Amino acid sequence: MTVTPEEAARELLEIVPLIMRDIRSEMRSQSSPDLTIPQFRALAFLNRNEGSSLLKVANHMGLTPPSTCRLMDGLIARGMMTRQDNPADRRCVRLVVTARGLAILDASTRGTLAYLADKLGNVGDDGREVIVKAMKSLRSVFATGTRIRAVVE
Amino acid sequence: MTVTPEEAARELLEIVPLIMRDIRSEMRSQSSPDLTIPQFRALAFLNRNEGSSLLKVANHMGLTPPSTCRLMDGLIARGMMTRQDNPADRRCVRLVVTARGLAILDASTRGTLAYLADKLGNVGDDGREVIVKAMKSLRSVFATGTRIRAVVE
DNA sequence: TATTGTTATACTCTATAACTATA
DNA sequence: TATAGTTATAGAGTATAACAATA
């Protein structure tokens, strides 16, 4: 079976928003109403990269600095993150996840993964194998984040 | 290779938002700045289902009726859609895509698909085959839309 | 009374433009 | 002057609650 890029694109454009909607709706309701997807992604990144600057986060997420700043505002207002001084370069902030933020991130991760895993239990082992392979291909194509302002990280 | 539902879930939760961000950013910038993703999806649905009621659209999109109403407001304000009376049941509206809406939908579809197809040209035929297979599996799991208010369609 | 849709209100996400502080 | 971050402003997406019109 030969698949043209156009066919694959069509599938992607139809299915990916569906999955996204489902994940969002799960995160919003029920088990883990604490985080939106951007908040979740920011927390996860900062948990892996403690003390990153605002631009690093913006960079990683493909957002503009003001958008990222607002996102941080929200997380900080709800006690999941702090801004700390960076003595080495006082223009930069060090963004650090709080214990509370980590706990919420953990709970949300667990809840969402359990939800998805439950659904993926229905596609069979073959289906999951294909899905994982596809995600690896897609990562190679979509992982190169948009670079805003700073090209170097 | 055996893949647990948890592993597949983890991949999905990492990659799908990446793709989504990319699609969104493409739609916002460059070639097709005319539609957001929800607007695009609503137009596409109504193009396939002319004269659907608000609840049918809400249903399909997994949105609440007020959210959908707002979405329609935006499309109507920009001349891409009209609300028409439904003589059969005057509580219902008939949502109809205008010629202008159709033209914009077409252009946006073409632009976004071309963008995605270009990216998917880099994964090779095997990669695309796996991707299409994965999307078919995922559709079967995520296609069952959330039913809000109306369970029957 | 039940159904369809809308308005009121309130968040979050996101952007561009203009600004401040530091280098 | 260049870089990091913020504030100002604006529009879209989304929800819940309350309401109007029709069945």
What would the pLDDT profile of A91-131 be if each residue is shown by its tens digit?
A: 999 999 999 999 999 999 999 999 999 999 999 999 999 99
How far in angstroms lies nucleotide D5's C1' from the CA of residue A66? Answer: 8
Residue B143 has pLDDT above 80, yes or no: no
pLDDT at A148: 45
> Tokens 């895509």 identify what position?
B97
In angstroms, rounded to a whole number, what is the distance separating the alpha carbons of residues A143 and A90?
Answer: 31
**DSSP per-residue letters across A47-95:** HHSTTB-HHHHHHHHT--HHHHHHHHHHHHHTTSEEEEE-TT-TTSEEE
Q: Is A72 exposed, middle or buried (0-12, 13-18, 19+ CB in 10 A)?
A: buried
Nearest nt by C1' to A92 Cα: D4
Cβ pair A13, B120 in contact under 8 A: no
Q: Would you state the structure tokens that stand for residue A75, as one six-digit string?
A: 């997380």
The phi and psi torsions of B148 (rounded to 5 degrees) equal -110, 125
Instruction: Say whether B142 and A15 touch across the interface (CB within 8 A).
Output: yes
Residue B1 has pLDDT above 90, yes or no: no
Residues with CB under 7 A from strand D: A 21, 24-25, 28, 53-56, 65-66, 69-70, 72-73, 83, 89, 91-93, 149-150; B 36-39, 61-64, 66-67, 70-71, 74, 89-91
Give the mean pLDDT of chain A.
89
In angstroms, rounded to a whole number, what is the distance separating the alpha carbons of residues A104 and B81?
Answer: 42
Query: What is the distance, to the nearest Å, from the Cα of residue B57 to the centroid of all Cα atoms in its chain?
Result: 11
Query: What is the distance, to the nearest Å, from the Cα of residue B99 to the centroid of all Cα atoms in its chain?
Result: 19
**Residues above pLDDT 70, as percent of chain B:** 92
Q: Which nucleotides of C are covered by protein (CB under 7 A)?
A: 3-9, 12-18, 21-23
In angstroms, rounded to a whole number, what is the distance separating the alpha carbons of residues A41 and A27?
Answer: 12
Cβ pair A19, B16 in contact under 8 A: yes
How far in angstroms lies nucleotide D4's C1' from the CA of residue B150? Answer: 50
